[in-house]
A and B are shown apart, each in its own frame.
Chain A
């Protein structure tokens, strides 16, 4: 049956409408879970709040398990799902920039817009910086495009690279997630609470 748009069950014109609806729902859930607070997001780095880590790990696991079972039940064709190609060097470099921005500003791009939506001044400044960054990137693209496009590994999957089968990999991720959740729970108890 799915994916609905590539299969033509929903017209491609609807993709933006669906994206807006999903985006609004995502933003609503982020905001109501307290993700528009920089202190909560930065808590991962200081060890007093690991909700961000738990949420995104859980999302990854749920999506993984869901996709495999949906594929098995014939609700979605896993081969039609778009997989981002891997560009090794730009991924590493971009990850470092993103990490610095995250710890300095206390937002990731998605949550910064949640902050803007509820009128936080720091979030507005953060998104301003984001647009300046986009401008600098776009204008300097001719200078950096060689590096940007280097290390193109194509569409690769981590379980192929590691040489393990898909179920083994997913099971490994589930177990490590549970262990990490338990461990960060202990850390949270030891670290002094921060009120925010």
Chain B
């Protein structure tokens, strides 16, 4: 037999034996603790109720609200255009169409923050992008949009502008006027169309 073949075969066998002596990092899909920590403290995943209200009013096509509460709560009250994916069912492959896309911002909300946070955690663990949480959930929605509190007289101009926006939003969402007749001057609702959050990918 050709001596070259024997040498080549010996090289293969020796390098094969060598594999037993080197550590092999097995593939694991686990996220590293420090990365998880960084993601947990990242505040950019929160959007405020005011921003959501504004985007609903502007009929922002890149907004997809996801109600993670139970179905009967959802049928009682939900934000306009929101889809209902109860937290327990979030891993159900039926919902994959909502998650597997990259042109919409998915905003989770629940009554408070906790369920939405859990949904966000699960979805981002599954590798989906553009996930957000409506900070404070529906509780905060009621406090800010449905029953906005008039700021103190000494409050800054900015707060008054926010209040004016909230009153306008209130009218949009509840259909009725906010009962505060003492507010003689009706300020115009200032709705700024914000730039979309979605990053344009590719192209020139």
Contacts and interface: CB of A to CB of B under 8 A. Distances in A.
Interface of A: 61, 65, 68-69, 71-72, 78-79, 166-167, 170-171, 174-175, 177-178, 181
B9 interface: yes
Contacts of B13: 174-175, 178
Interface of B: 9, 12-13, 15-20, 22-28
A181 B1 CA distance: 12
Main secondary structure of the interface of B (DSSP, over half): helix
Contacts of A170: 16, 19
Nearest to A80: B27
A56 B80 CA distance: 58
Contacts, number: 45
A68 B25 contact: no
A166 B28 CA distance: 14
A140 B24 CA distance: 44
A174 B16 contact: yes
Nearest to A168: B20
A68 B9 CA distance: 18
Contacts of A175: 13, 16
A166 B21 CA distance: 12
A57 to B, nearest CB: 11
Contacts of B25: 71, 78-79
Contact of B16 (A65, A71, A72, A79): A65
A172 to B, nearest CB: 9
| 6 pairs of A and B residues whose beta carbons are closest in the complex | A167-B19, A174-B16, A171-B16, A72-B22, A79-B27, A167-B20
B18 to A, nearest CB: 8
